Each structure stands twice: as C-alpha cells, then as structure tokens.
C-alpha cells in the first residue's frame, strides 16, 4: 500500500490532523507541513511538521501500513539526515503503525524513555476516538483502516463521507480529507475497482 501521498495530504490539513495521527500530541505554536526529499541520500519523508517562526521541535512523521522490521532504523536515519541539514531544530520522529503488533522490537532504544522516536499504533486509540468523536472529520478519515469488517465499513461509508462533507472546514481542507478518505476506501475495496 503506497501511503506517502495520503499521509502528507492529511498532515497538511492542519494541527488537528497531527493530533489525530499521533494519538493526541498537540503542537505548540505555528507549524508548516511539507513533504521533503533529503538530498544527501535521497530519502523521502512522509511528512515533516516543522516550526514556523518559533524554536519548537520539528517532527518527522512516517506512516507504516505494512510490518517492516527495518522501519524504525529508516526513521532514525531520516531524523539524523534532516537534523544534519537543520541543526537549529530539535528533531523528533513519529512512527505511526496501523497495529501495535507491527511495531518492530529493534532498535530497542526506540522503546526507552526519552527516545527521540515515538511509536504510535492507530489500533490502540482510533476505535475509541471514532466512538467518542463521531463528528470529527480527521478521525473519520482513518475509519477504513480500523473498521474490521467490509460489511460494517460498507454500512458506515456514507456517514463517514458526510462527516467530512458537513464539517465546518475550509474548501481546501474538505477536499484534502475527502481525497484521503477516498484513497482508503479504494485501498480497502480494491477488489471491486479492478
């Protein structure tokens, strides 16, 4: 599953997107989001949430839809490369996984207190948030990734779509969230789109 572009689009839609994707982490101050290729090794970041006019940390966000043993090493390398090019910022990593079971054990220091990388599993909180915040379009976007059965998702799809269409959002944000939700629907129901 190619997730780089939808995750970048989602992050670009505002601070609420970052809060939802990181399991509740709130940004302090203004930030700008971009997708970036680090020239030294041509590494693409899914999303970079960088401070805009203040000294807060920069966040390198990587979304991992499939289990990969090397994913945390990859993120650590990207943090180092971005930090090397931007030493004026503290650089932290956000490793976002669909399932807690997909989080690699190594490197072990990632799981230690004070690690510059935070591992987040969407399955550990998004079901609860979907029930608690049913009208939040930033949560609705990820429903196709956490609703387990196709039957339930098929039933809930119109409501999820309407959650985004009826939310008090700017036109560009609504279009972005709609595009990301549509992407997840196509990924989830790919056997019907061939």
DSSP string covering 92-153, please?
EEEEEESSGGGS---SGGGGSTT-SEEEEEGGGTHHHHHHH-TT-HHHHTTHHHH---HHHH
- Domain ranges for the chain, please list them: 1-123, 125-194
CB 83 within 8 A of CB 91: yes
Residue 59 φ/ψ, nearest 5 degrees: -115, 120
- pTM for this one? 0.76
pLDDT per position as a tens digit, 63-78: 988 889 999 999 999 9
Parallel, antiparallel, or unpaired for β 58-64 and 43-51?
A: antiparallel
* pLDDT at residue 38 in the model: 59
pLDDT, position 7: 78
Q: Tell me, what's the pLDDT at 14?
A: 84
**Model confidence pLDDT, tens digit, residues 3-18:** 567 877 888 888 888 8
Task: Look at residue 124 in the predicted model and tell me its pLDDT.
Answer: 92
The conformation of residue 50, written as its DSSP 8-state character, comes to E
The position carrying tokens 């709609």 is: 178
**Hey, what CATH class is 1-123 in?**
alpha beta
The CA-CA-CA angle for residues 44, 50, 56, to 5°, reads 140
If the chain, 194 residues long, is cut into consecutive pieces of 10 residues, what is the mean pLDDT of each piece?
Answer: 72 85 86 70 80 91 89 93 91 94 93 94 92 94 90 92 96 94 85 61
């Amino acid at each position: 599953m190619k997730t780089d572009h939808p995750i970048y689009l989602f992050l670009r839609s505002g601070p609420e997107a970052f809060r939802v994707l990181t399991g509740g982490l709130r940004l302090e101050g203004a930030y700008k989001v971009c997708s970036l290729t680090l020239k030294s090794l041509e590494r693409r970041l899914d999303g970079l949430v960088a401070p805009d006019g203040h000294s807060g940390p920069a966040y390198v966000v990587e979304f991992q839809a499939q289990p990969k043993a090397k994913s945390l090493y990859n993120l650590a390398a990207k943090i180092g490369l971005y930090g090397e090019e931007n030493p004026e910022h503290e650089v932290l990593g956000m490793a976002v996984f669909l399932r807690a079971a997909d989080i690699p054990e190594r490197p072990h220091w990632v799981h230690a207190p004070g690690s510059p990388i935070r591992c987040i599993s969407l399955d550990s909180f998004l079901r609860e948030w979907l029930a608690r915040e049913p009208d939040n379009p930033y949560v609705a976007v990820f429903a196709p990734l956490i609703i387990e059965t196709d039957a339930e998702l098929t039933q809930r799809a119109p409501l999820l779509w309407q959650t985004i269409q009826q939310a008090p959002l700017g036109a560009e944000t609504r279009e972005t969230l709609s595009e990301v939700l549509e992407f997840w629907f196509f990924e989830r129901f790919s056997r019907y789109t061939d």
